[in-house]
Amino acid sequence: MEDVYVTGLGIVSPLGHDTPAFWEALVQGISGVGPVTRFETDWLAAHIAAEIRDFPKPSPFLTPEEAQNPFAGEWLILSAGREALKQAGLLTEKKQSSKPDLEIILGSNQGDFVPQLEKRVRALETTEASAIRRAMVPMMLSESAFHELLLKLARRLNAGGVECILSNACSTGAYAISLAAERIRQGKTEAVLCGGVEILSEVVYAGFSCLRALAPACCQPFDLHRQGIVFGEAAAAFMLESKSSVLARGAQPLAKIAGWGWSSDAHHLSAPHPEGRGMALALQRALKLSGLKPGQIDCLVAHGTGTLSNDRVEAAAFLEVFGKNPPPVTAPKSMVGHSMGAASAVEALVGVKIVERGIIPPTMNFQTPDPDCPLDCVPNTARRRAVTYCQTNASSFGGNNVSIIFGPPEL
Amino acid sequence: MFESIAITGISLISALGDDPAALLAAWHDGTSGLSPTGVDELPGQAPVLCGRINLDFTQRLGGTGWRHYTRSSLMATLACRNLMTSLADASVWKQREEIGICLGYNADASIHLFFSSFFSTLKTKSYRWINPTSFLNISNNAPASLLSLQHQCRGPIFTVTTGFASGLDALNLSATVLQGGHAPAMLVGACQEINPELLESFANLPGENNGGILGSLPRGGVIAGEGCAMLSLEKLSPSDHGRARAWVLGYGEALNLPDQNTDASAAVALAVQNALADAQIRLEDIHAVFLSANGNNLQDTAEATALRGLFGRRCPPAVALKGAWGECYHAGSAMSAAAAVLCLEKGFLPPTLNLAPGYDAEALGLSTRPQTVPAGNILLLSLDRDKKAVALILNLPRKDRAVC
């Protein structure tokens, strides 16, 4: 089996349009949350989100022609993907992959299909249901189809290897990264560009608002008075390579992927297992694959949505796996919001940076400890700490759980 | 190459029903599952042919509480139930904690319903409550999560959404998960339900049938269908090899990287070559081909060109199953895989129904009537319009079996 290394990272987020800007803001505890500008929310109970602003503007990762296009997920993941390729030393002058057989594995729940559908429907002069349904017809098998996001990215990067798009709801980004790692581990390929992307959708936002799952003011993971999710949007990309590839190219890895674990709650379509059984299984399976003991994990990057049930259940899973004193836990959604299909990839990127920099970003908006969540959440201020291994946790509607462990980049 | 990854069970629901014996009989008799849509099903339009499943899912599933679930979820539930019943004696399927699920699926039908409801009613009337189940149904992972809940499977769970290739991609992904030791067994498949938007989208695809393998709709366009296939995949120890109904040998894919609307035959050929290399077999070791052909001239021509280029005049026997049940989109290639095992276990290849008038079937080795074919290596193809080509190679162990 091959060891798997991270050789490049890329991100477009509400906190910045590349990894250095994102990380700097995250460590400083800057919030990306503000009023929703993309659509009207006056009829809803919530009005805030972490939107990506001023993108695309002149960018080192998009051509001037590409940067002219309207805001869409395809440009976010293209920019993030090229940033990751560039850091790995695999981006050509034509902004394409220097590996023609590069594989791409993405996670997304809507691609650009749902947001484009919304635009199309908003442009209609009718609210008649059958007219709205007819408006969708030209999109289904066209360039707007869900998986076109992946195919367009592959074409722009001239990447001709295996391509796959996963749609495991909120955990799908980390599913994509770990599946990519698995393919490299088995020697099926030597390099995969992977990650997640999602942009804000009115229908999904309104749906969660109607389900009373959105917070009115801010996201407060693990706080006693947490009130729910704050939506966000992002694209996060990883360049993963086998040890052989890293050695052959003389590349400088950022981290090693030490292990990953997948599980299903098999409990409920929307509620997590009350004792965090599924999450604990994924965490334990990742530890088992890595050969590490729970005590060797120095930091946890939480799913931390800020909902009452998720945070309580996640804390229970951490206590189950790590005992009474789990390692410090950070919850990036307190600053970047919940970017659904991209969220777990964003959090995985945070995991790599923690190992690389030895700084744990804060969990912001934390004021009152919750007795049901007895965790060290690194409240409100970043903490310097040597981190050898950092483990992430992600879950989703339907209980699709995934955990990834990042370790030092020694070859 | 996949080592010892076997298909140990199959369940298939299509316009030809869900009973394997009836399906085999229908194939043998050349029965088509295509039927016209209802008079008012496509507003303002004449009925079109489609491959609709005529089963009452809620009645077949029994019990109550199904009304909130999508037709795709019901289809997958029934297919999975049929499959699990057939696997009841195998001990691995009693250890649900580690078993994984992988489904090829896209929630297009639910998204259409929810969108029209949202923009026509909810938003304009400022409702502040929606049905949680109907909202959650727009999540692509809902059917897979439902299966894990119903069968208490706590292993890895994946939803793959790669268009026409979703089914074969799900099989490849599941084989990878098994190979890596992440689960002892996987429930894998794909489902697709018909909805008015899908019917119309396929009917609008350019399909003048100039070179297409299958017949298209009278005004052009592809005949849509619906269906679901579920397969059980296991990594078998040598002592269990007798339980293998087919072995997964190799997978290959290729993108048509130039701009769209260019000939994708090179991508099809490359996908086949990649699959052969992965399976470590030669082209002449292929005994039968299950085509992606769906009546779209662009796709069918690329596929036929690639196969003629690869095999020359020695094309192995081939069949295009979509002539009997329509283009089932996300589910189509998984259905093809299940069907391939079912019929070749019996030693025959079904006829290609709804062949395009005047098409030279012989040149492509296309079956026009039930044809005796020995067990061996099967090549399955899936082509996503002019873009992505996927090839999967299965091996059916040679046994003494009845020949039709």
Q: Give the pLDDT of residue A410.
A: 92
Does residue A330 share a domain with residue A295?
Answer: yes
In order, the DSSP letters of A15-78 are: TBSSHHHHHHHHHTT----EE--SS--TTSS--EEB---S-SSS-TTS-HHHHTSPS-HHHHHH
A172 and A115 co-located in one domain: yes
Domain boundary (A195, A229, A249) is at A249
Rounded CA-CA distance A397/A202 in Å is 18
Asked, for residue A172, whether it belongs to a domain, the answer is yes
pLDDT over threshold 60, residue B355: yes
Nearest-angstrom CA–CA distance, A73 and A108: 10
| Residue A349 domain-assigned (yes or no) | yes
Collect all residues with Cβ–Cβ distance below 8 Å to B400 and sequence separation of at least 6. Answer: none
Residues A327 and A179 in one domain: no
Q: Does B299 touch chain A (CB under 8 A)?
A: no
**CB proximity B328 to A under 8 Å:** no
Judging contacts by C-beta atoms under 8 Å, the chain A residues touching residue B201 are 137-138, 140-141
Active-site residue among A303, A373, A377, A390? A303
The reply to whether A267 and A176 lie within a common domain is no
pLDDT digits (tens, 9 = 90+) for B209-243: 567 889 888 777 899 999 999 999 999 999 999 99
Half-sphere exposure of B49 (CA within 13 A, CB side): 20
* More confidently predicted of B401 and A324: A324
Tokens of A186: 């088995």
Instruction: Name the minimum distance, in Å, from the CA of A123 to any CA of chain B.
Output: 12
Q: Do A399 and B142 touch (CB under 8 A)?
A: no
Q: Inter-chain contact B119–A155, Cβ cutoff 8 Å?
A: no
Q: What is the pLDDT of residue B401?
A: 44
Closest CA–CA distance from residue A297 to any residue of chain B (Å): 21
Ramachandran angles phi, psi of A355, nearest 5°: -65, -40
Chain B, 376 to 395: residues with Cβ < 8 Å from chain A are 384-385, 387-388
Which amino acid is present at B243?
R
Mean pLDDT, rounded, for A314-329 = 98
Q: What is the DSSP string of B320-382?
A: -THHHH-B-GGGHHHHHHHHHHHHHHTTEE----SBPTT--TGGGTB-SS-EE--SSEEEEEE
| Contact predicate B335/B188, CB 8 Å | no
Tell me the backbone φ, ψ of residue A10, rounded to 5 degrees. -150, 145
Show residues of chain B in contact with A167, CB under 8 Å: 105-106, 140-141, 159-161
**Touching A: B residues 43-72, CB under 8 Å:** 43
The domain segmentation of chain B, as residue ranges, is: 5-105+140-395
Best A1, A2, A168, A198 residue to mutate vs chain B (most B CBs within 10 Å): A168
Is A273 an annotated catalytic residue? Answer: no
Rounded distance, CA B149 to CA A267, Å?
6
CB within 8 Å: A140 and B153: no
pLDDT score for B404: 34
Indicate the average pLDDT of chain B: 90
Active site residue A303: yes
Q: What CATH code is carried by the domain that includes residue A340? A: 3.40.47.10
Q: What is the pLDDT of residue B208?
A: 55
Question: Is A152 domain-assigned?
Answer: yes
Q: What is the mean pLDDT of chain A?
A: 95
The answer to whether residues B126 and B211 touch, using CB atoms and an 8 Å cutoff, is: no
* Enclosing domain of residue A84: 4-249
A131 plus A236 within the same structural domain: yes
Asked if the model's pLDDT at residue B373 lies above 50, the reply is yes
Domain membership flag for residue A409: no
Q: Which residues of B360-375 are buried (b: 16+ CB within 10 A; e: fewer)?
A: ebeebbbbeebbebeb
Cα distance between residue B142 and residue B159, in whole Å: 9
Q: What is the pLDDT of residue B402?
A: 40
State the Cα–Cα distance between residues A170 and A151, nearest whole angstrom: 22
Query: Which candidate from A136, A164, A399 shows the least CB-CB separation from B115?
Result: A136
Whether the per-residue pLDDT at A226 is higher than 60: the answer is: yes
Question: A184 and A316: one domain?
Answer: no
What digits encode the pLDDT tens for the residues B24-39? 999 999 999 999 998 7
Say whether pLDDT at B261 is over 70.
no
Residue A407 domain-assigned (yes or no): no
Q: Average pLDDT in the A106-124 region?
A: 90
Residues 6+ apart with CB under 8 A from B218: none
Task: Evaluate whether residue A218 is within a structural domain.
Answer: yes
Interface probe with B: pick from A211, A400, A402, most Cβ of B within 10 Å: A400
Last residue of a domain, one of A226, A249, A272: A249
Evaluate if residue A131 carries a pLDDT over 90.
Answer: no
| Encoded tokens for A261 | 């674990």
* A308 close contact with B: CB closer than 8 A: no
- Least confident range of A208-217, A248-257, A308-317: A208-217
Measured in residues, chain B has a length of: 404
**Residues 76-135 of chain A whose Cβ lies under 8 A from any Cβ of chain B:** 109, 113-114, 117, 121, 127-130, 132-134
Q: Is the pLDDT of residue A401 over 60?
A: yes
pLDDT value at position B128? 66
| Contacts of range B273-277, beta carbons closer than 8 Å, 24 or more positions apart | B273/B310, B274/B391, B275/B250, B275/B251, B275/B379, B275/B391, B275/B392, B275/B393, B276/B250, B276/B252, B276/B393, B277/B250, B277/B252
- Nearest-by-CA chain A residue for B391: A162
Burial of B67 (0-12, 13-18, 19+ CB in 10 A): exposed
Known catalytic residue at A147: no
- The rounded distance, in Å, linking the Cα atoms of A395 and A344 is 8
Residue A30 falls within a domain, yes or no?
yes
Q: Domain check: are A180 and A302 in the same one? A: no
> A140 at the B interface (CB within 8 A)?
yes
Q: Which of A200, A216, A249 is the last residue of a domain?
A: A249
For A216, which DSSP code?
S
Does A272 share its domain with A209?
A: no
Same domain, A47 and A119: yes
Cα–Cα distance, B393 to B27 (Å, whole number): 22
Mark whether A228 and A285 lie in a shared domain: no
How many structural domains are present in chain A? 2
CATH architecture for segment(s) B5-105+140-395: 3-Layer(aba) Sandwich (3.40)
A141/A139 Cα distance (integer angstroms): 6
Chain A contact probe: residue of B159, B235, B329, B390 with most A CBs at under 10 A? B159
Rounded to an integer, what distance in angstroms lies between the CA atom of residue A343 and that of residue A80? 14
* pLDDT over 70 at B207, yes or no: no
Same domain assignment for residues A74 and A123: yes
Supply the ipTM of this predicted assembly: 0.97
Q: Which two tokens stand for residue B204?
A: 């609008």
Give A146's pLDDT tier (boundaries 50, 70, 90): confident
CB contact under 8 A, B198 and A140: yes
Nearest residue in chain B measured CA to CA from A175: B158
- In terms of domains, do A64 and A193 share one? yes
Please report, for residues A173, A294, B200, the alpha-carbon distance to residue A284 in angstroms, rounded to integers and kept in the order given.
20, 8, 47
**CA-to-CA distance for A393 and A399, rounded, in angstroms?**
12
A71-75, A387-391, B195-199, B205-209: range with lowest mean pLDDT = B205-209
Chain A residue with minimum CA distance to B259: A155
Residues of B in contact with A203 (CB under 8 A): 114-115, 118, 138
- Structural domain includes residue A312: yes
B167 to chain A: which residues are within 8 Å by CB? none
Q: Quote the CA–CA distance of B341 and B7 in Å, as a whole number.
A: 9
Angle between helices A172-185 and B166-179 (to 10 degrees): 60
Q: Does A313 touch chain B (CB under 8 A)?
A: no
Q: Do A263 and B204 touch (CB under 8 A)?
A: no
